């Protein structure tokens, strides 16, 4: 199988990687780099569990080839907290009881993360639309939506 060397900045650290042309980004992150926080729920771009941020945008790691991420800045759920300090999104998901089984949570948080970056003051409909790509079978969505709104508010307050 043909292999290619790529490099990728994942959560602030550069990685030199050897991948095949078929390797999916999700497998490179999980199996090669060992970052298993990014989850696979369908492998077909339908559930959003594998959502990560690539150059600041929310993308589905199950639909991307690793070679497409050559040179990219990747943020995964593991890259959000600062030491033991949680990111406001992570805190809000806890305080709003937006987490049950937690399997959708990394994808939800990363979708919210990219949204807030683009739109620091989203309204409820915007958040609902943004999270519409992220399936959750446990919570019924109300709490995750609230958590993203709360985190956005928290982050605006911090910037001021």
Alpha-carbon gap, residue 103 to 37, rounded angstroms: 9
CB 82 to ligand FES: min, Å: 24
SS3 151: helix
Q: Of other proteins, ligand FES, none, which one does residue 132 interact with (CB within 5 to 8 Å by kind)?
A: other proteins
**Stretch 13-42 residues interacting with ligand FES (CB under 6 A):** 40-42
Read off the tokens for 69.
């991420």
Alpha-carbon gap, residue 15 to 158, rounded angstroms: 32
**Stretch 43-102 residues interacting with other proteins (CB under 8 A):** 43-44, 46-47, 49, 76-78, 80-81, 86, 90, 93-95, 97, 99-102
Options 19, 139, 148, 155; binder of ligand FES; rule CB under 6 A? 139
Contact between residue 22 and residue 1 where contact means Cβ atoms under 8 Å apart: yes
**Stretch 126-145 residues interacting with other proteins (CB under 8 A):** 127-129, 131-145
Asked if 3 interacts with ligand FES (CB under 6 A), we say: no
Contact between residue 89 and residue 109 where contact means Cβ atoms under 8 Å apart: yes
Read off the tokens for 58.
């929310």
CB 155 to other proteins: min, Å: 16
Strand 3-10 to 73-75 pairing: parallel
Alpha-carbon gap, residue 105 to 15, rounded angstroms: 25
Alpha-carbon gap, residue 73 to 96, rounded angstroms: 30
Residue closer to ligand FES by CB (options 43, 153) is 43
Binding site for ligand FES (CB under 6 A): 40-43, 45-50, 60, 62, 99-104, 136-139
Binding site for other proteins (CB under 8 A): 1, 30-31, 35-44, 46-47, 49, 76-78, 80-81, 86, 90, 93-95, 97, 99-106, 109, 127-129, 131-145
């Amino acid at each position: 199988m043909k292999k290619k060397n790529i490099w990728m900045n994942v959560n602030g650290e550069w990685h030199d990687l050897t991948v095949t042309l078929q390797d999916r980004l999700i497998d490179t992150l999980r199996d090669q780099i060992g970052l298993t926080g990014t989850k696979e729920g369908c492998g077909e771009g339908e559930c959003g569990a594998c959502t990560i941020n690539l150059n600041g945008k929310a993308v589905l790691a199950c639909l991307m080839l690793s070679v497409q991420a050559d040179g990219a800045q990747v943020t995964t759920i593991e890259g959000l907290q600062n030491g033991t300090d949680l990111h406001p999104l992570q805190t809000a998901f806890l305080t709003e009881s937006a987490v049950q089984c937690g399997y959708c949570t990394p994808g939800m948080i990363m979708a919210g993360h990219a949204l807030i970056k683009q739109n620091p003051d989203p309204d409820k409909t915007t958040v609902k639309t943004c999270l519409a790509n992220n399936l959750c079978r446990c919570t019924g969505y109300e709490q995750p939506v609230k958590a993203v709104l709360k985190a956005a508010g928290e982050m605006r307050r911090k910037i001021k």
